[in-house]
Structure 1
Amino acid sequence: MRRRELLAAALSAPLLGNWWPAFALEASGSASPFDAETVAGLARALAARDYVAPEVALPKALEDATYDAYRDFRYRADRALWRGQRDARFQAQFFHRGFLFRPKIDLHAVEDGQAKALPFSTDLFDYAPNPAPALDDIGFAGFRLHAPLNRADYFDELCTFLGASYFRAVGRGLGYGLSARGLALGSGEPAAEEFPLFRAFWLHRPDAGAESVTIDALLDSPSVAGAFRFVITPGDDTVFDVDARLFPRVTLEKAGIAPLTSMFHFDASGRDGVDDYRPAVHDSDGLAVSTHAGEQVWRPLHNPRSIQHSGFQGRAPGGFGLMQRKRDFADFEDAEAHYERRPSAWIEPLGDWGEGEVHLVEIPTADEYHDNIVAFWRPAVPLPAGRESRWRYRLHWTATHLWKPALAHVVATRIGAVPKTTRGARLIVIDLDGGPEQTVSALEVEVRASVGTVRNAVVHARPGGGWRVGFEYEPDGQTVAELGMRVLQQGRAVSETWLYRWQA
């Protein structure tokens, strides 16, 4: 794990520690009955109690561990959970506590309807070149799953759960990038954000040859407790089927359901103040939304000068996600980070989510080490205290996800000055791929602006394939405008809808 990956997993995580005392009954190593309602029952009982903040104390041997020292706490692959199981398609390895990852996270193995706590031991880790420290059962910081994703004879790292309620995964041929979370509370709001923590996990032993693995998680924070079940299926798209059951201690006015967290530093649409040889740096370049009415929307991301909130309101969408559409090395020219291999994440609601909005938060960042983009579903009605709220969805970790491939989709947004003008006009160029085979003469461009003036909108064939749309925008003294564009044929949309917030 690289330094950026460690920091990104923990930047927003609160420093939490010891566990709810009633749960210490399992620490003896004896097995306990476990079924599909066990974690929900624990969460319900936890929510009925006053929140108790965990302790953060670490043994002296870990208290002063630096980033480099923590990297030397390597889990032994030969001690992986389920290793050696006949026809096993999954293995689990555990993260050591220390550095930024102080909370003790309880891990359990579930088999034949029985759950048993997994004890910590220094024998599970390789500390070279240093000797193993003398430690009692201090627990773990999190875990990761491995599976033969890219080759049948090698177990690739598939996903990781580490820090607050963050988790990440990859599809075939991809590397880590953006993260998902169990729940977002107050992202981008003036008050301090609250970061719920997955405080315990139950890892279900998969049957021989099973294509999926099941993980249960218990979430806790001052405002809410929750029970999560993840059914994880690796592949070209690695898919998480998520069942989230929330038990608020207080009314949650602005809960973020199915949150995604990513990084956008710069791209061709905005390089103000950027002195960098690379043409772009981001884990995701746009928010995609398939509206309840069936419209396909693409909203390019910004690195704004101040925190920006955007909402796409209505009935629950067919899906939404933070996407990485640039897939060529030349798009980034970064031989270490390989941003072209970062996954997209697509949320597909299951069941009726009712009214609300897909909410996007964009936060200023001066570098590529801090996640600054958050997207989630915000219900129109607050989640009441003392009442269970349940949310099911399917999360795709994918290289691409075109839910309406018949429509042309945006692959790049470029903005620059209009030559020979003194009015502050901007030239906006949008490249699209795919869509129906049409002659350019059969197409028209529809452009709208909330304020200002749009001029000279055109569409033409792009060398190498696809279309290019260009238009001039004059702000007329305004500093913020909402812009929109789509390509039509005889009044019918043949492209997705491009939306953009322009700022002076």
Structure 2
Amino acid sequence: MTRRGFLAGVSLLAMTAAAGAVTPRYLESTSFGPDTVHDLARDLAAQEFTARAKVPEPWLNLTYDEYRKIWFDVDNAVWSGTDLPFQMDLFHPGLYFPRPVEIDVVEDGQAHRLAFDIDLFTGTDDAPKLAVDETMGYSGLRLRHQFEGETKQREFAVFQGASYFRAIGAAQAYGLSARGLALRTGDPDGEEFPEFIRYWVVRPAPGDPDITVHALMDSPSVTGAFRFQITPGLAAEMRVDATLFPRVDLDHVGIAPLTSMFLYDQTNRPRFDDFRPAIHDSDGLLIWNGAGEMLWRQLANPTELQVSSFVDEGPRGFGLMQRARRLSDFADLEAHYQDRPSLWIEPEGDWGPGVVRLVEIPSDKEIYDNIVAYWRPHAVLAAGSEHRFAYRMIWTDEVSSVPPPRRQDVARVIDTHIGQNFDRDRTIVAIDFAAHPALDVPELEGQLDGIAVYVASGQAETSAGILQRNPETGGARLAFTFDPGDSRTVELRAQLFRDGAALSEAWLYRWTSHDA
């Protein structure tokens, strides 16, 4: 029987919905247990990869504006009209989402697959009227929750497109995204994008603080079983358990990949004619490496692709952070860049040797994600093997009551300014460190007393650096100059010490002659 034919006879499997709402329907039911997705991924890896069918051509040909004229009616949400702490909305396919995914609701050991129903959606009066056939399905899902002090449920997580997903805390606006897996990012032969092809969302019980989503991944090179335990709140937290089954030897894998946008700030402002002082979802890569160092790599928007690798063993955490938190940092009343989340990855268990890899892609518009960061294991993931990675994700503002785990005994980098000096013969760098007890010392002859400044570069001559109190931030500002000479690329590092002990994060930056 075709899916269309089966849809006509599934009303007895309908879920409870609010009065007057269209009831989401089940297509079929199968048993579901702790190993179901794991077994499906393992079995799928033993088969030859087959691309899923696309939705009908009219859906693929939707314009961006036409796609936005159709949207899910939240009155028809899964678990609408119940006392459950979560509701789930669905996304229609088309445009950027050519291949539908399957979505199941799990309850009492049974997985109930949702049928595609266009009547769950609404739209504008001039929304396109499109036919629906047996190839149709959803393109993803959105989770909503009633936050403390609010009367309505509000979204906090979205899974849609390839293996992309994103989340926000209670007071945040959407910004950077995450992916289930990255393959060959930045390689000359091109990147492969694995896709989540099926989701299982576990029905929560009244009072549950979190919700669980399982996902099955597939691609020509690898399959995977993922489990997300998601807890909304002031910060959104996800505990991720991922098991990979390579079809081929994987020598360039990105674990816990993050994708963001950095157009410009005060490091490369002259390149952009815009009224806003900065445009970015993230301004730096933060790494807490296995040796205990806190590394801050200021992001760049180069004119040529550039890749940075931070060698490590047993990383304690890494993430793309948004530290600019004032409206005046962006002067944008619509985009709310100051409210976009930082995202911290905390590995569970020993991830062994590898690198935190940062890929920075040239970009001229804020609509493009051009920053990617992930963990790249040193060892090849062999075909026919099985590899498990577990980690915690925290979508936060970094300084709220839910800060990511990090060293508290060193001052954070909060801003960087780069430009020409007065005589236009050297480049000056000014680094602002946040207020911190370690920097609360008197000034002596224009310098903070007893604090040693370390500034270095392997490609350029640098000045010794001047460390002064910044009266606006209450912290310290380190300023130094360098002369790149004929160097097209200059790697820079700066840090504060007392008696050999670090007082600040290590500031890192790759300056290129094209940045000016």
Q: Normalising to structure 2: TM-score of the pair?
A: 0.90
Q: Which residue of 1 aligns with 2:471?
A: 463
Cα distance in 2 between the residues matched to 1:451 and 1:325: 28
Cα distance in 2 between the residues matched to 1:307 and 1:150: 44
Query: Could you tell me which amino acid in structure 2 is paired with residue 460 of structure 1?
Result: Q
Residues 370 and 421 of structure 1: is their aligned pair in 2 closer, same or farther, counting only changes over 3 Å?
closer
Q: Which residue of 2 aligns with 1:473?
A: 482
How does 1:82-161 map onto structure 2 within 5 Å?
Answer: 82-86=79-83, 88-130=84-126, 133-137=130-134, 138-149=136-147, 151-161=149-159
- Secondary structure of 2:271's counterpart equals coil
How does 1:201-350 map onto structure 2 within 5 Å?
Answer: 201-350=199-348
Shift of 1:319: 0.3
Residues 212 and 354 of structure 1: is their aligned pair in 2 closer, same or farther, counting only changes over 3 Å?
same
Q: Which residue of 2 aligns with 1:491?
A: 500
Cα distance in 2 between the residues matched to 1:173 and 1:28: 35
- Secondary structure of 1:210's counterpart equals coil
- Secondary structure of 2:269's counterpart equals coil
How does 1:11-22 map onto structure 2 within 5 Å?
Answer: none
- Mapped pair 1:443 → 2:440: no
Which of 401, 407, 413 matches 1:410?
A: 413
Cα distance in 2 between the residues matched to 1:109 and 1:59: 29
Residues 120 and 447 of structure 1: is their aligned pair in 2 closer, same or farther, counting only changes over 3 Å?
same
Cα distance in 1 between the residues matched to 2:61 and 2:248: 37
In 2, are the aligned partners of 1:212 and 1:232 still within 8 Å (CA)? yes
Shift of 1:235: 1.0
Shift of 1:134: 4.1
Q: Which residue of 2 aligns with 1:13?
A: none
Cα distance in 2 between the residues matched to 1:447 and 1:49: 54
In 2, are the aligned partners of 1:435 and 1:494 still within 8 Å (CA)? no
Q: Which residue of 1 aligns with 2:69?
A: 72
Query: Could you tell me which amino acid in structure 1 is paired with residue 285 of structure 2?
Result: L
In 1, are the aligned partners of 2:460 and 2:483 still within 8 Å (CA)? yes
- Secondary structure of 1:69's counterpart equals helix
- CA-to-partner distance for each residue in 1:235-283, whole Å, 9 max, x for gaps? 1111010000100000111000000000000010112421011000000
- Secondary structure of 1:30's counterpart equals strand
Residues 210 and 28 of structure 1: is their aligned pair in 2 closer, same or farther, counting only changes over 3 Å?
closer
- CA-to-partner distance for each residue in 1:83-135, whole Å, 9 max, x for gaps? 2222x111100001122211111000000111010001122111331476442
Cα distance in 1 between the residues matched to 2:57 and 2:419: 55
Shift of 1:32: 1.1
Shift of 1:172: 1.7
Cα distance in 1 between the residues matched to 2:240 and 2:259: 17
Which of 379, 385, 407 matches 2:383?
A: 385
Q: Normalising to structure 1: TM-score of the pair?
A: 0.92
In 2, are the aligned partners of 1:237 and 1:398 still within 8 Å (CA)? yes
- Secondary structure of 2:480's counterpart equals strand
Query: Could you tell me which amino acid in structure 1 is paired with residue 299 of structure 2?
Result: L
Q: Which residue of 2 aligns with 1:500?
A: 509
In 2, are the aligned partners of 1:435 and 1:495 still within 8 Å (CA)? no
Q: Which residue of 1 aligns with 2:432?
A: 431
Shift of 1:421: 4.7
Shift of 1:148: 1.5
- RMSD over aligned CA atoms reads 1.7
How does 1:22-61 map onto structure 2 within 5 Å?
Answer: 29-58=27-56, 60=58
In 2, are the aligned partners of 1:150 and 1:156 still within 8 Å (CA)? no
In 2, are the aligned partners of 1:150 and 1:173 still within 8 Å (CA)? no
Q: Which residue of 1 aligns with 2:19?
A: none
Query: Could you tell me which amino acid in structure 2 is paired with residue 475 of structure 1?
Result: P
- CA-to-partner distance for each residue in 1:331-381, whole Å, 9 max, x for gaps? 000111110011000000001111101000000001101100000000000
Residues 442 and 125 of structure 1: is their aligned pair in 2 closer, same or farther, counting only changes over 3 Å?
same
Q: Which residue of 2 aligns with 1:394?
A: 392
Shift of 1:405: 2.7
Residues 462 and 28 of structure 1: is their aligned pair in 2 closer, same or farther, counting only changes over 3 Å?
closer
Cα distance in 1 between the residues matched to 2:191 and 2:201: 29
- Secondary structure of 2:119's counterpart equals helix
- Secondary structure of 2:255's counterpart equals strand
- Secondary structure of 2:318's counterpart equals strand
Cα distance in 2 between the residues matched to 1:391 and 1:125: 37
Shift of 1:65: 1.9
Cα distance in 1 between the residues matched to 2:349 and 2:480: 41
In 2, are the aligned partners of 1:329 and 1:340 still within 8 Å (CA)? yes
Q: Which residue of 1 aligns with 2:8?
A: none
Shift of 1:64: 3.0
In 2, are the aligned partners of 1:455 and 1:473 still within 8 Å (CA)? yes
Long gaps (5+) in structure 1: 1-17, 19-25
Cα distance in 2 between the residues matched to 1:78 and 1:57: 25
Residues 474 and 48 of structure 1: is their aligned pair in 2 closer, same or farther, counting only changes over 3 Å?
same
Q: Which residue of 2 aligns with 1:358?
A: 356
- Secondary structure of 2:205's counterpart equals coil
Residues 461 and 175 of structure 1: is their aligned pair in 2 closer, same or farther, counting only changes over 3 Å?
same
Shift of 1:330: 0.1
Query: Could you tell me which amino acid in structure 1 is paired with residue 430 of structure 2?
Result: V
Cα distance in 2 between the residues matched to 1:111 and 1:452: 62
- Secondary structure of 2:146's counterpart equals strand
- CA-to-partner distance for each residue in 1:409-444, whole Å, 9 max, x for gaps? 11111111122254xx11110001032222321212
Residues 335 and 150 of structure 1: is their aligned pair in 2 closer, same or farther, counting only changes over 3 Å?
farther
Query: Could you tell me which amino acid in structure 2 is paired with residue 382 of structure 1?
Result: V
Shift of 1:218: 0.4
Shift of 1:195: 0.5
Shift of 1:28: 8.2
Q: Which residue of 1 aligns with 2:445?
A: none
- Secondary structure of 1:361's counterpart equals strand
In 1, are the aligned partners of 2:342 and 2:396 still within 8 Å (CA)? yes
- Secondary structure of 2:368's counterpart equals coil
